Amino acid sequence: MTHATPITQSPDSPDPTRIDDVLTVVAERRLEFEEKRHIPRDVIDVFKRAGLYRASTPKRFGGDPLPPARFLSLIERISAVDGSAGWVASFGSSLVYLAALPLETQAELYADGPDVVFAGGLFPVQTAERVEGGYRVRGRWKFASGCPGADVLGVGIKAGEDATGRPLTAVLRPGQVRIADNWNVVGLRGTGSHDLVVDGAVVPEEWTFVRGGEPTVDEPLYRYPTVPYAAQVLAVVGLGVARAALDQAIAAGGRASYTGAPRPADRATYRIAVGQAEAQLRSARAFFYEATEETWETVVAGGPATARQTGLLRLAAAHLAKTSFEVVRAAYQLGGIAAIADDSPMQRYLRDASVVPQHAFLQEGMYDGAGAVLMGVQPFPGFL
């Protein structure tokens, strides 16, 4: 049982029956994802058919760009079944970055259709050599989630500074990139977040962009703050995992104890812990979607998101990631000795949820940045 935002069909929404197909396939193959340490391409194709990888493609190029809250709720549902699948599906949002490419480049990118999978290993930023018409790119980049199933890949480069001082992202085809198979981690094992290696590929200037840079597409989704959105799609993975873990703890209330002690549901301490966790999770979730909807209303009306709205998006995302992990940890402890078994989903929930707040976008420093914005002082560089 989950408590995600209901998904209703609309002209710009993925087919609900195909989302059900995604959930079925993910449930059947989630152990395979952990074993292989990536989501296989045939599963990525299921995600594509459900519309997840056209959810941030501009309408002018055949996409069905979804309002952020609608896309986030889809990722929440998938993550409640498997965190790694939700994490990789969440990058269906990442084409908002590529909206900063020249329109002619985007037309070429989407020439074969709007269902394009983009994965990026943007850090550490590597110095690129300027050559005629572009850049010669060399180096190694970390944490390229979903790279085994990507159609295009991005890496962070520096070749002088643009007006903002921010690095460029160079877009390459898979044949120009080597994936270094080194994703050996405690949680979210199925995300395939390997290193990317490039050895001298030349990337034309028109295939580079500044992440979060000014979009060349004038549609509402591309006025929504891009870096906060990138944090949100990851934070909501933790939410889905936490919902699954807490639902399991609730369902386990009627089980018999190994020691003959009262059932969990008959113990006040168990009931109190469940009630507190439910309140924590629902409160963080409500704040998260409230901030999303408020900002979306602003950009749909034609205005830019305010600094306060951007700060609240980042705050809500970091707070959701932190709270979700706390809820999963509480559910794991409620699971008792049974939770430590390899065949218990509870230990997988704990491992997966522990990774989410470790992401640079979701660490506790975001509270500092948000607090600065709320009090009218300058936040740390890159927060807004």
> Is there a single domain that holds both residue 64 and residue 203?
no
d(CA 6, CA 177) in angstroms, rounded, equals 39
pLDDT digits (tens, 9 = 90+) for 201-214: 999 999 999 988 89
Residues in CB range of 220: below 8 A, 6 or more apart: 65, 296, 299, 300
Q: Kindly state whether residue 111 falls inside one of the protein's structural domains.
A: no
Question: Is 30 a residue whose pLDDT tops 80?
Answer: yes
> Is there a single domain that holds both residue 148 and residue 34?
no
Tell me which residue range forms the domain holding 185: 117-210
pLDDT at 301: 97
pLDDT at 295: 98
> Is there a single domain that holds both residue 149 and residue 177?
yes
d(CA 26, CA 33) in angstroms, rounded, equals 9
Residue 272 is inside which H or E element, if any? helix 268-300
Strands 208-210 and 168-172: antiparallel
Quick check: helix, strand or coil at residue 38? coil
If you average pLDDT over residues 14-43, what whole number do you get? 92
d(CA 284, CA 289) in angstroms, rounded, equals 9
Average pLDDT, the chain: 93
> Is there a single domain that holds both residue 92 and residue 125?
no
End-of-domain residue from the set 98, 128, 149 = 98
pLDDT digits (tens, 9 = 90+) for 105-137: 999 999 999 999 999 999 999 999 999 999 999
If you average pLDDT over residues 315-334, what whole number do you get? 98
Give 41's pLDDT tier (boundaries 50, 70, 90): very high
Q: Kindly state whether residue 77 falls inside one of the protein's structural domains.
A: yes
CB count within 10 Å of CB 337 equals 9
Which of 118, 150, 143 is closest to 193 using CA atoms?
A: 143
State pTM to two decimals.
0.93
- The tally of domains found in the chain comes to 3
pLDDT at 8: 35
End-of-domain residue from the set 210, 232, 264 = 210
Residues in CB range of 2: below 8 A, 6 or more apart: 77, 80, 240, 243, 244, 247
- CATH label of the domain that carries residue 306: 1.20.140.10
Question: Is 160 a residue whose pLDDT tops 70?
Answer: no
pLDDT at 16: 59
pLDDT at 4: 38
Task: Tell which wins on pLDDT, 167 or 27.
Answer: 27
Calculate the alpha carbon distances from 31 to 67, 190, 253, 345, 373 in Å.
31, 9, 26, 10, 43
d(CA 263, CA 374) in angstroms, rounded, equals 46
End-of-domain residue from the set 65, 98, 131 = 98
d(CA 294, CA 297) in angstroms, rounded, equals 5
Question: Is 9 a residue whose pLDDT tops 50?
Answer: no
Q: Kindly state whether residue 7 falls inside one of the protein's structural domains.
A: no
pLDDT digits (tens, 9 = 90+) for 345-375: 999 999 999 999 999 999 999 999 999 999 9
> Is there a single domain that holds both residue 206 and residue 293?
no
